[in-house]
Amino acid sequence: MPRYFFDVHDGGPEFDDTGTELSGPDEARQKAKRLLPDIAREEILANGDQRTFTVMVKDENSHPIYSATLTFAGLRLQR
């Protein structure tokens, strides 16, 4: 089974050195789409109202196969 790596960029990169065995690129894409909201959910609560999260998926040969970005912008309207 091929291994895919999910690098997260959120102000600075976090590299996935372990990877995950998945059936193929379609499953890797689905995993990236599930991963982004989970990361954002935790980080937004802890660190502010303007955030951008990107997941770069690479295959076993370090070739990028998929990238997804999620942006959050919050604006306080009353003090």
User: pTM of the entire structure?
Assistant: 0.86
**pLDDT reported for residue 36:** 93
Q: What is the mean pLDDT of each run of 10 residues along the chain (79 residues)?
A: 95 91 97 93 82 96 97 90
**pLDDT reported for residue 12:** 80
**pLDDT reported for residue 11:** 76
**pLDDT reported for residue 56:** 97
SS (H, E, C) the chain: CCEEEEEEECCCEECCCCCEECCCHHHHHHHHHHHHHHHHHHHHHHCCCEEEEEEEEECCCCCEEEEEEEEEECCCCCC
